[in-house]
């Protein structure tokens, strides 16, 4: 067992994205990892795997894939040996079905994120996550929005933005989720990459369908109805001719 731990520590020492760790940290990390071999083509982990699990690729090549709007699986990232990036948190109205797959036979080390953070930083994982979320923000959400918008109609893009705003600026309301910021048509148009008059048309249509309601200058969003709407669009594969002038 000790020989295996020493061998794993040597492998960790050669990994680029954790080469800044001290020898003591690498040795402790090697002892904490549960080792496994994953055959070519198999799934290493996916978005249903435990959220607190962290994976280190010691040898081999992996890739992270997701489903596009047509339901086809596409490659997002090719992964070299080192700590494997965490799958992005879920996004309202979008189903990516992220998966990390072995391109070749892979040797994987697994531990809980809390154990790794304690070894590497000496702090609680909850504190690290709060700090990382505050410092890094949700740039991953912006990137996911951009890639997803490529295959969306303008109507779908407006629905996705309303869901995003309700997640970030929403408070519970008897009628749905009330936005605490003023949702100006000009701002919404810039977020979805379209003209203000076209966005106004879709907002009026959403009001007619009771996806949103207005109380003075505040907007109340029915998240459940918007998510059902997007799910129906995805299942039917319907497409329109919304404006595509993405400036994101």
Residue 243 lies in a domain: no
Residues 86 and 161 in one domain: no
* pLDDT recorded at residue 40: 94
Residues 127 and 30 in one domain: yes
Residues 162 and 127 in one domain: no
Residues 127 and 159 in one domain: no
- What residues contact residue 235 under an 8 Å CB cut-off, 6+ apart? none
Residues 149 and 122 in one domain: no
User: What's the CATH code of the domain at 194?
Assistant: 1.10.10.10
**Per-residue pLDDT reduced to its tens digit, 89-145:** 766 666 778 999 999 999 999 999 889 989 888 877 777 777 666 655 555 565 556
Residues 6 and 59 in one domain: yes
64 in Cβ contact with 76 (< 8 Å):
yes
- What residues contact residue 224 under an 8 Å CB cut-off, 6+ apart? 176
Order of strands, sheet of 82-83, starting from the edge strand that comes earlier in the sequence: 34-38, 106-112, 53-59, 82-83
170 in Cβ contact with 177 (< 8 Å):
yes
Residue 241 lies in a domain: no
Residues 121 and 171 in one domain: no
**Per-residue pLDDT reduced to its tens digit, 26-79:** 899 999 999 999 999 999 999 899 988 999 999 988 988 888 766 778 877 888
- In terms of average pLDDT, the best of 43-57, 115-129, 162-176, 179-193 is 43-57
Residues 38 and 104 in one domain: yes
Residues 6 and 129 in one domain: yes
Of the three residues 136, 153, 188, the one that is the final residue of a domain is 136
Residue 248 lies in a domain: no
What is the pLDDT confidence band of residue 202, given thresholds at 50, 70 and 90? very high
Q: What total of structural domains would you count in the chain?
A: 2
Of the three residues 117, 136, 155, the one that is the final residue of a domain is 136
Give the separation between CA 66 and CA 94, rounded to whole angstroms.
11
| Residue 40 lies in domain | 2-136
Q: Is the pLDDT of residue 3 over 70?
A: no
Residues 120 and 156 in one domain: no
User: What's the CATH code of the domain at 115?
Assistant: 2.60.120.10
Residues 85 and 20 in one domain: yes
Distances, alpha carbon 11 to alpha carbons 6, 59, 114, 205, 227, in Å: 9, 8, 22, 58, 45
Of the three residues 136, 170, 186, the one that is the final residue of a domain is 136
Residues 110 and 157 in one domain: no
């Amino acid at each position: 067992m000790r020989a295996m731990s020493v061998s794993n520590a040597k492998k960790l020492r050669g990994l680029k994205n954790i080469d800044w760790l001290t020898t003591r940290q690498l040795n402790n990390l090697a002892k904490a990892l549960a080792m496994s071999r994953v055959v070519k083509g198999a799934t290493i982990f996916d978005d249903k795997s435990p959220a607190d699990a962290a994976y280190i690729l010691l040898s081999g090549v992996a890739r992270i894939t997701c489903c596009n709007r047509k339901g086809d699986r596409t490659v997002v990232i090719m992964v070299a040996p080192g700590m494997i990036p965490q799958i992005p948190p879920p996004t309202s109205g979008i189903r990516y079905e992220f998966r990390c797959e072995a391109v070749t036979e892979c040797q994987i080390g697994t531990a809980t994120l809390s154990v790794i953070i304690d070894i590497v930083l000496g702090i609680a994982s909850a504190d690290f996550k709060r700090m990382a979320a505050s410092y890094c923000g949700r740039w991953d959400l912006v990137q996911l929005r951009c890639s997803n918008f490529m295959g969306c109609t303008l109507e779908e893009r407006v629905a996705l933005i309303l869901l995003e705003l309700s997640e970030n600026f929403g408070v519970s309301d008897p009628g749905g989720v009330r936005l605490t910021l003023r949702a100006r048509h000009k701002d919404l148009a810039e977020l979805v990459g379209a003209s203000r008059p076209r966005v106004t048309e879709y907002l009026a249509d959403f009001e007619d369908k009771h996806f949103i309601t207005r109380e003075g200058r505040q907007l109340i969003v029915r998240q459940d109805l918007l998510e059902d709407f997007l799910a129906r669009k995805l299942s039917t594969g319907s497409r329109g001719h919304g404006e595509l002038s993405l400036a994101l």
